[in-house]
A and B are shown apart, each in its own frame.
Chain A
Amino acid sequence: MGWLSNIVPPFFSWIPVVVLFIFLLPVAPYKLWRKEKIHVARLEAERVPKFVVTPLGDRQQWEHQTTEHLMWAELRVRNTSPSQSLHNVGVRVRAYTITQERHNISGTYILIDGLADFKPAQVYWSRRDADPQQLTIDIPPGSERTSLIAFSDDSNGPPGILNAPVRQRVSLGGKLEVEVTSLDSAAWRGAFYIECHPHYCRGSSATFEFIPWERWVETHPVTPLSTPDSEGSEYAETAFRRSRALPPKRQGGSKLEYTTFDGPGERGIA
């Protein structure tokens, strides 16, 4: 066995190797963990929208000087990024739900999907900031642009008209769910209360009431319809799906279609 002692180093020669091994043992997982943490933090930052969105109601112009409309509601969109331009920014109205005062409990409201034919639509930007009928716009870093959500040319009252390619009348008061999107940012989503007040309601100042939904709810409690009735009516079904945060029921088949890979090797264990 003398030849073996010539090949294998003495015992003490192994100590640095073992120490190095013990040192490296936690280093590799730590580096992996650190890299993954940075990656997740970057993805987390991408979830945050680079928009600040401010509603502007009470906009009116009776002399036709700066706008063709008598009263209107606007959404001011500001790019919060100090260095990055936001491209193809669009404002989309996702849903509109009418608020109705409960007949048995005064001062409380319920939400009703009263506009069955309401379709989600992208609205035009204001002509002050964009060309006529422009649906998307680029916003430079730190800049602000204005989207014209709805307008009315009848001072005697509702309905207001949604400023979209297919103009839809927004009558009564309701919850307007809005989405601001861009190729360079996560989508911003929010809800507003919108109502077109005629001049006989507020004296001579016929305006749009256009405020954040949370602020309106503070003074107008909305009671949810949380459970479907035993007969499963469509009204209750809608309220139930909203309460469970499920997507709305599709008519005539689902929005998405699915298939899965059946071939070997395409399905793995995480």
Chain B
Amino acid sequence: MAGSHKVRVTGAGRNCWFEVSAKPAHLLSRVPVLGPFVTYNLGRNPRFIINVQYLGYVTRDECDTPDPTILPSLADQKLWNFDLVLHIEGDYIEGGDDLLVNLSLTTLQRKQQQYLTRVWPLTRPGRAELQIGVPHPYTEALYSFEVKDTAVTLANAAFATVGGIIGGTVGWILTKVFSS
């Protein structure tokens, strides 16, 4: 089952914290049940929209709650670059992606930054995870899903069922109209 997680992320030695989440760029993929079956069949090429929100600045240690009213110091206002990787059963898909955080937008203007990832070709079935930063077994995935190797998908069946219901209803109404 597809699932998105909100991940807190910061750079080493820095005190700015961001909340990062992901959602599939394809609209139908966001339906929890249909998601993996619609987009993530083998051979599909999903993309993701990454949302970056400034959480705040931790002044003392990492246990403190980030203070969103504090802006990053000048030393922190450098290039923020988070690595994005996608792996299927631990096998990393070649060619990563970089999320360039717009500090001006996220911290000074207090807006949410959105970033469209590259196309990830799915070449093998299994459990896939989109991760931010250095891949690590204990790193929570931004988005996780199953890559299915199925020809007839649940989505096709669902669409056929819904289409049948609508068609039947319309036909019944028309029959009633013209028979009366």
Contacts and interface: CB of A to CB of B under 8 A. Distances in A.
A268 B177 CA distance: 46
Interface in B57-76: 62
Interface residues of A, number: 39
Main secondary structure of the interface of B (DSSP, over half): mixed
B32 A269 contact: yes
Contact of A46 (B5, B6, B116, B143): B116
Nearest to B131: A258
A255 B12 contact: yes
B7 interface: yes
A245 B94 contact: yes
Interface in A1-43: 11, 15, 18, 22, 25, 32-33, 36, 40, 43
B12 A256 contact: yes
Interface stretch (A67-75, A150-158, A246-254): A246-254
Interface string A233-270: 00000000001111100100111111111000011111
Contact of A246 (B35, B92, B166): B92
Interface string A183-226: 10011000000000000000000000000000000000000000
A43 B134 contact: no
Contacts, number: 111
Given A40-B49, A260-B7, A270-B32, A254 B27 contact: no
A270 B24 contact: yes
Interface residues of B, number: 54
A18 B100 CA distance: 50
A256 B9 contact: yes
Interface stretch (B79-87, B121-129, B151-159): B79-87
A181 B7 contact: no
A129 B136 CA distance: 44
A249 to B, nearest CB: 9
A145 interface: no
A256 B133 contact: yes
Contact of A256 (B4, B5, B11, B102): B11
A250 B170 CA distance: 63
B3 interface: yes
A92 interface: yes
Interface string A64-94: 0000000000000000000000000010100
8 contacts: A40-B47, A40-B49, A183-B102, A247-B85, A255-B134, A258-B8, A258-B133, A269-B4
Interface of B: 1-12, 23-25, 27, 29-30, 32, 35, 47, 49, 62, 79, 81-83, 85, 92, 94-96, 98, 100, 102, 104, 114-116, 132-136, 138-140, 143, 166, 170, 173, 176-177, 180
Interface of A: 11, 15, 18, 22, 25, 32-33, 36, 40, 43-44, 46-47, 90, 92, 181, 183, 186-187, 243-247, 250, 253-261, 266-270
